[in-house]
Amino acid sequence: MSIEFEKFHGTGNDFVVVDADEYVPDRGAFAREVCDRRDGVRLTDGGAADGGATTAPTDSVGADGALFLALEPKFSPPRAVMTLVQPDGSTAAMCGNGARCAAKWAAERTGADTVMLDTQAGTRRAEISDDEVTIEMGAPSFAPGDVPLAPDREQPLVEETVEGVEVTAVNTGVPHAVAFVEDVDEVDLDAVAPAVRHADAFPEGANVTFASRRSEAGDGDTVAFDQRTYERGVEGETSACGTGAVAIAAVARRAGEIDGDASVGVFPPGGRLGVTFRGERASLTGPAEREFTGEISSTPEPRRVSEA
């Protein structure tokens, strides 16, 4: 069995995009296989890709997740149902950069410049231009039940020490523990983030996002932050995280560090993301690009639990 895919990235956060009509009986097993940075999707010459043909390690690309997209083009604007399956086989309710890639994918198929995306975190409107996609991200929530925090917790977790790191917990579609530090590049993410990601405070886990404020903002931004995020499901650092960028802006806003209408530039290792607010609702802007298309030569079949 072989299936077609497209490889996209949003500010360096990269995804294998699969039309939901393709036969993938076990999405978790598929994502574990194709996202593997060593043995997953690989580039071959001429920009095509094949899941099993190439062996040169320098050509390995993997991905931060597999996006399954079900297009419903008969609506105006067109809609797509987005499901993100992560490299560990788990499903995430929302992905800011993945949603921007999904919107670009749907726009390329339909010619529309507005797309509605149905995610597990809600329906999100996306506006697509030549080089950027802006997506509505909803209202970030600090409420203990929304993050979620431990069931006996009644107050938001704000500037509290969790596993040695002072964090604020917010849900921007998925949970984030946000820590402001002097310099994100000084943080040993692999050493400190896993304990926070798995802390009892977060019964469903959390993405761990570090931020430091830049002394100057540019590009029309009112304020700018550097970002590094350790992602749940990837279990490592990614080049960018859209929900993390919104989380930084939301926590800074809650702390009164930025004005309600500020245009916030967030700089993960992969580039720049823009965050703005209309009332309590956030929007996320950044580049989304198709890198190449290909076929994956084998589709993992569902495994019995005893084989897993």
Torsion of CA 249, 252, 258, 259, to 10 degrees: 70
Among 95, 102, 128, 147, the active-site one is 95
Could you say which of 96, 138, 140, 268 contacts ligand LBFN2T5F (CB under 6 A)? 96
Task: Report whether the peptide linkage leading into residue 194 is cis, meaning its omega lies within 30 degrees of zero.
Answer: no
The residue (of 147 and 299) whose beta carbon lies closer to ligand LBFN2T5F is 147
* Chain center to CA of 208: 12
The residue (of 51 and 286) whose beta carbon lies closer to ligand LBFN2T5F is 286
What is the identity of the amino acid at 259?
A: D
Task: Report whether the peptide linkage leading into residue 148 is cis, meaning its omega lies within 30 degrees of zero.
Answer: yes
Among 24, 69, 170, 241, the active-site one is 241
Instruction: Say whether residue 273 binds ligand LBFN2T5F (CB under 6 A).
Output: no
Annotated ligand binding at 13? The verdict is yes
Instruction: Say whether residue 92 binds ligand LBFN2T5F (CB under 6 A).
Output: yes
Q: Among this protein's residues, is 241 annotated catalytic?
A: yes
Annotated ligand binding at 232? The verdict is yes
Quote helix, strand, coil % in the chain, to nearest 5. Answer: 20, 35, 45
What tokens does 1 get?
Answer: 């069995």
**In the complex, least distance from residue 290 CB atom to ligand LBFN2T5F, rounded to whole angstroms:** 17
**In the complex, least distance from residue 199 CB atom to ligand LBFN2T5F, rounded to whole angstroms:** 15
Annotated ligand binding at 97? The verdict is yes
Residues in the chain, total: 308
Could you say which of 231, 237, 249, 258 contacts ligand LBFN2T5F (CB under 6 A)? 231
Which positions ≥6 away from 70 have C-beta within 8 Å? 19, 20, 21, 80, 81
Instruction: Say whether residue 275 binds ligand LBFN2T5F (CB under 6 A).
Output: no
Q: Among this protein's residues, is 35 annotated catalytic?
A: no
Instruction: Say whether residue 106 binds ligand LBFN2T5F (CB under 6 A).
Output: no
The residue (of 86 and 141) whose beta carbon lies closer to ligand LBFN2T5F is 86
Q: Are 84 and 102 in contact (CB under 8 A)?
A: no
How close are the terminal C-alpha atoms of the chain, in Å?
21
Instruction: Say whether residue 13 binds ligand LBFN2T5F (CB under 6 A).
Output: yes
Q: Are 44 and 60 in contact (CB under 8 A)?
A: no
Query: Closest CB to ligand LBFN2T5F belongs to which residue?
Result: 174
What is the identity of the amino acid at 142?
A: F
Torsion of CA 15, 19, 22, 26, to 10 degrees: 40
Query: Residues 18-57: x/- map of binding to ligand LBFN2T5F (CB under 6 A)?
Result: ----------------------------------------
State how far the Cα of 206 lies from the Cα of 262, in Å rounded to an integer.
Answer: 26
- Residues involved in catalysis: 95, 241
In the annotated binding site for substrate, the residues are: 13, 86, 96-97, 207, 231-232, 242-243
Chain positions contacting ligand LBFN2T5F, by CB under 6 A: 13, 86, 92, 95-98, 174, 207, 231-234, 238, 241-243
